[in-house]
Amino acid sequence: MNHHPQNWHRPRDDVYGAYDHSYLQTTGPKQHTQSPAVTGTSVIGVKFKDGVVIAADNLASYGSLARFENVHRLLPFNNQTIVGFGGDVSDMQALTRTLQALYTRENYSHSPSSPDSVHLTAHNLHTYLQKVLYNRRSKLDPLWNVILIAGFDGKQKPYLASVDLLGTSFTSPTLATGFGAHLAQPILRRKVSDEKDAENLTKEEAVELVKECMKVLFYRDARSTDKYSIAVVTKDGGVDLKEDEKLEAQSWSFAEGIKGYGTQTV
């Protein structure tokens, strides 16, 4: 007897003959993803005077279920560029394969030891991803992601940019996706409101600022977790990526002062 799950509830071939697939409809309309199933939440980025800091937690949620707790959503592209993905995890994996193929072609086309070789900068990668996402959007089959690109531009200045599933792209000294656009951006902009503030921000201050945002998101975003990845991109140190960081000094003591949930006592 055939016990394969794909054959359950089907008549047995040895009794009733082979299954007739001609009854199946094969001429229906082409279908695309209408809503993501497994998603990642916020990605946070901020520029400082010598580079960029970017972070994202390691949780991938299946709807409202915190399903996968070890999904790394920061992808180094080369020694001066890193990409952070928010949104659908399967589309993130597809884009990861695309970027890995691009990186391989880049290395074959240009010798790393040649002083005249030209490599893709963060600005170049941002433009490339904008074209990819806009192309899929134009086919009514978008990649359900919001992406942050952190690194350096052609003038070796810190570069931080965003592109979403519609191909909309822009740059800013501080960026956040998902709930971070509502909860983390006010914290980031309080410290870094423009490019001038970013030029006066040190690496240590930028890292602490991003960690503060990750803590707020853990407390206030139901799709977030206390394990996260954080990367610091600098000209001298390249991409310094740490993938299994954990929030420190957690405390829910502030919850006692929150009114409006559960039974209230005066």
Strand partners for 55:
44, 230
Does 26 qualify as catalytic in the annotation? no
Which of 26, 27, 33, 171 does the annotation list as catalytic? Answer: 33
For residue 244 the two structure tokens come to 């299994």
* Catalytic annotation, residues: 33
